[in-house]
Amino acid sequence: MNTPGSSTPREAVFVPQKQQGISKWILAAGAAVFLAMFTGLVITTTLLISQQNRAGLVTAETATALEEPSLPDLTNAVARQEMSLLQTETAEAVPAIATPAPTPEIEQEAPAPKPIEVAATTPSTLRLGATHRYRVPSCIDYLDTLVKITTVNFPLGSDIPVAADMIRARNIATAVKTCDEVKVIVEGHSDRRGSAQLNMDLSWFRAQSVIDQLQREGYDISSLQPRGFGATRPVNFAGTISGEAENRRVQFPLAPRSAPATVRLSGN
């Protein structure tokens, strides 16, 4: 194509419209990428800040749950402690200043101690003679206390003692060996039911049964004497089942060793 007034022909250059469109798309894509990166940066920053806040809340909740004092609380506690120490020191210092010095007391002669009066001991119910007055009483007192709290009971119509009641009977058999001046009367009794002869025989069998059992267990029975009293000495007059069970028993009163074999102790 030649322009007017030109002697040299020039070639016309055409810029395709398609290339201009591609440039616009590149710019748009770049802008979109930049916008996406910026948006991602903002979101990431927001998430980090949120996580830090959440971590701070968790730490505060944990400290609250553990009842950890805050800095102001610690400061107030220290101040209160110092104030308490100051008040204590002041309270201790004031009485020390206000208390006058004690005046020396004149020592007085201590009064002479009063003579100890020895009460006369109650004589034993057993008359054992003057030679044993200072050796035997402790043994007899122990044995007398033991026999008063010992009772062996029996089932209805039986001469087999209750096993638990034999524990103190064994203690009596052991203690009587140290008391040469006494012997133990093993008294058997029955309830008030049945014939008099049957009850008398049964009461004696009960006394002998206790002695036989002690002998089988290896105890010395030479100081034990059986006696049967039938239903003549009840301890319960109610007539009930439990009352009659108390009457079926064996008891252990003491007697001097010189007493006859058929001795009956008074008061039993």
pLDDT, tens digit (0-9, with 9 covering 90-100), for 200-244: 999 999 999 999 999 999 999 999 999 999 999 999 999 899 999
Residue 252's alpha-carbon distances to 168, 186, 215, in angstroms, are: 10, 5, 16
Q: 145 and 49, same structural domain?
A: no
pLDDT number for residue 89: 63
Residue 155 belongs to domain spanning: 136-256
Mean pLDDT of the chain: 75
Q: Any idea which of 78-82, 174-178, 186-190 has the lowest mean pLDDT?
A: 78-82
Q: 221 and 140, same structural domain?
A: yes
Residue 152 has pLDDT above 90, yes or no: yes
Q: Which residues pair with 255 in a beta bridge?
A: 183
Q: 201 in a domain, yes or no? A: yes
pLDDT number for residue 51: 79
Q: 43 in a domain, yes or no? A: yes
C-beta contacts of 14-18 below 8 A and 24+ residues apart: none
Q: 29 in a domain, yes or no? A: yes
Q: 36 in a domain, yes or no? A: yes
Q: 148 and 66, same structural domain?
A: no
Q: Which residue, of 36, 60, 80, is where some domain finishes? A: 80
User: How many whole angstroms separate alpha carbon 214 and alpha carbon 170?
Assistant: 7
pLDDT band of residue 134 (cuts 50, 70, 90) is very low
Q: What is the mean pLDDT of residues 51-69?
A: 60
pLDDT band of residue 47 (cuts 50, 70, 90) is confident
- Residue 73 has phi, psi (to 5 degrees) of -65, -40
Residue 260 has pLDDT above 60, yes or no: no
| Per-range mean pLDDT, top range of 21-25, 29-33, 122-126 | 29-33
Q: Which residue, of 80, 97, 124, is where some domain finishes? A: 80
Q: Residue 242 sits in a domain of what CATH number? A: 3.30.1330.60
How many domains in the chain?
Answer: 2
pLDDT number for residue 135: 46
Q: What is the mean pLDDT of residues 47-64?
A: 69
